[in-house]
């Protein structure tokens, strides 16, 4: 008996040591790369999507649907456990609850409202109980992605019970006519190519993947390897750039005495460079996961006018637009595309009954801020986005409608100067907004904002009140325009 007990103890000790050494080696590797262990686990998990996608293509593409759902569920749960351990129960619980809501409440507005309250409430409670003053990779990170998925699922299921004629053309595409099983909801939720960081996609699109419809060659595996590798390669470029520069361009420096003691223009230029650079970690993740989605076929988006297959159904980034467009609205249109599309489809457009587009936009941004977390920095960031977009549209309208400003803006030789000024303003105040987003708490972002005299707020609030008066002077009335013609 004693020897058996000792053998069990030795075996348990051996397993514990093996696990400890694995953690130690992973932690050591993360430290050498200048990253946290959790960040390294996240990156490994995202790249793991490629061998899983190859396995799916080779062995499961046209197999029975239940096998595909099981594969997605098992792999997603495994990734969740690798990253968050037993805390995977949070996602599992919410998925089961969502299935019960759909089955017990049916296609009713009550089910939609219950889903919104339960899923958002659970996410916000998670934020409240796990929040710290820094960004930590924890179970709430993939859970915010899951929350949008499950809310969208409930709304699409509700739309599926309506008369087809009462739906918009967009709603008809996403409306769910059948009744999803628990296995289908689990497979949709845990799909390994999007579980951790997105992108968002609908249940109908996922079911097309399961049925083998998302391919450019009907009856065959999609020719998506090259497009997937292109996105992977681009993601690797951003990953290498971010890894090399991250030790030198940090948000911690914004809080340092060295930053505060620098000249005003130095502080502004550092914020500009940091604001551009800090987004690259998101760009990296989304490009890599997009490649996984393309490889499975989920990225298939029909054909263009020339008959070439499009693979951008899961694109979360328009890289060229992101890097070259000098306007804030261009960055919004090119960054986190599928999440923005989700908010537009399921939130902004559903507020049409308010009869006020600006109010609907403001409420949508408030929802996005809360969805990101409970820190004040999120509210400040999206408040700045709201303000900047309004002012930018005012300025664009003024230049378009003023004959004098239109002529000045169309001078070819000055175009490079205009572009440089626009990009400088664009990324300076993008960095200004991202300062609050990344520093989270009011004492931190307030310190940085004070150091540059609240430049962003002063600049855009001033323009918000000044531009209407400038418009009165620079834009002639219609009667005057007719006389001039």
| Catalytic annotation, residues | 336, 372
The number of beta carbons lying within 10 Å of the beta carbon of residue 28 is: 11
Backbone dihedral angles phi then psi of residue 335, each to the nearest 5 degrees: -125, 130
With beta carbons less than 8 A apart as the criterion, state whether 23 and 37 touch. Answer: yes
Secondary structure letter of residue 335 according to DSSP? B
Task: Please provide the DSSP assignment of 129-153 as one string.
Answer: HH--SS----THHHHHHHHHHHHHH
Secondary structure letter of residue 200 according to DSSP? -
Torsion sign across C-alpha atoms 249, 250, 251, 253: negative
Calpha distance 114→100 (Å, rounded): 11
Supply 75's token pair: 């792999």
Cβ contacts of 317 within 8 Å, gap of 6 or more? 283, 286, 287, 290, 334, 335, 336, 337
Calpha distance 219→114 (Å, rounded): 41
With beta carbons less than 8 A apart as the criterion, state whether 299 and 315 touch. Answer: yes
What is residue 469's three-state secondary structure?
helix
The number of beta carbons lying within 10 Å of the beta carbon of residue 297 is: 25
Torsion sign across C-alpha atoms 95, 96, 101, 104: positive
Burial class (CB in 10 A: 0-12, 13-18, 19+), 305: exposed
CA 111 to chain centre: 26
Among candidates 303, 130, 139, which has minimal Cα distance to 223?
Answer: 303
Calpha distance 64→242 (Å, rounded): 41
């Amino acid at each position: 008996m004693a020897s058996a007990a000792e053998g069990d103890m030795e075996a348990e000790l051996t397993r514990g040591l093996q696990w400890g050494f694995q953690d130690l080696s992973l932690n050591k590797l993360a430290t050498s790369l200048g990253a946290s262990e959790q960040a390294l686990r996240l990156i490994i998990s995202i790249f793991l999507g490629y061998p899983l996608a190859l396995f799916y293509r080779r062995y499961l593409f046209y197999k029975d649907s239940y096998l595909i759902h099981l594969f997605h569920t098992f792999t997603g749960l495994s990734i969740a456990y690798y990253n968050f351990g037993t805390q995977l129960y949070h996602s599992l619980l919410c998925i089961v609850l969502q299935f019960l809501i759909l089955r017990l409440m049916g296609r009713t507005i009550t089910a939609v409202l219950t889903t919104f309250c339960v899923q958002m409430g659970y996410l916000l409670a998670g934020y409240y109980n796990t929040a710290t003053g820094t960004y930590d990779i924890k179970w709430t990170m993939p859970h915010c992605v899951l929350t949008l998925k499950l809310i969208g699922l409930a709304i699409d299921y509700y739309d599926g019970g309506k008369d087809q004629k009462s739906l918009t053309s967009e709603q008809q595409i996403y409306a769910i006519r059948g009744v999803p099983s628990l296995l289908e909801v689990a497979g949709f939720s845990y799909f390994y190519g999007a579980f951790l960081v997105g992108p968002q996609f609908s249940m109908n699109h996922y079911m097309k993947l399961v049925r083998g419809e998302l391919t450019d060659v009907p009856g065959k595996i999609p020719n998506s390897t090259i497009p997937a590798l292109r996105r992977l390669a681009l993601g690797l470029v951003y990953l290498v750039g971010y890894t090399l520069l991250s030790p030198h361009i940090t948000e911690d420096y914004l809080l340092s005495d060295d930053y505060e003691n620098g000249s005003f223009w130095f502080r502004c230029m550092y914020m500009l460079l940091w604001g551009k650079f800090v987004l690259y970690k998101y760009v990296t993740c989304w490009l890599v996961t997009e490649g996984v989605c393309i490889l499975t076929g989920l990225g298939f988006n029909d054909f263009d006018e020339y008959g070439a297959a499009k693979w951008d159904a899961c694109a979360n980034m328009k890289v060229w637009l992101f890097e070259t467009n000098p306007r804030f609205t261009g960055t919004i249109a090119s960054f986190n595309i599928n999440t923005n599309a989700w908010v537009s489809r399921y939130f902004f457009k559903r507020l049409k009954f308010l009869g006020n587009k600006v109010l609907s936009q403001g409420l949508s941004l408030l929802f996005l801020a809360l969805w990101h977390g409970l820190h004040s920095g999120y509210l400040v960031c999206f408040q700045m986005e709201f303000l900047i977009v309004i002012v930018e549209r005012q300025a664009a309208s003024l230049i378009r409608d003023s004959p004098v400003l239109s002529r000045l803006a169309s001078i070819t030789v000055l175009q490079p100067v205009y572009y440089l000024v626009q990009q400088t303003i664009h990324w300076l105040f993008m960095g200004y907004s991202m300062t609050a987003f990344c520093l989270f708490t009011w004492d931190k972002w307030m310190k940085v904002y004070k150091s540059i005299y609240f430049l962003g707020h002063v600049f855009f609030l001033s323009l918000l009140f000044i531009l209407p008066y400038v418009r009165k002077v620079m834009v002639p009335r219609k009667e005057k325009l007719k006389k001039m013609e």
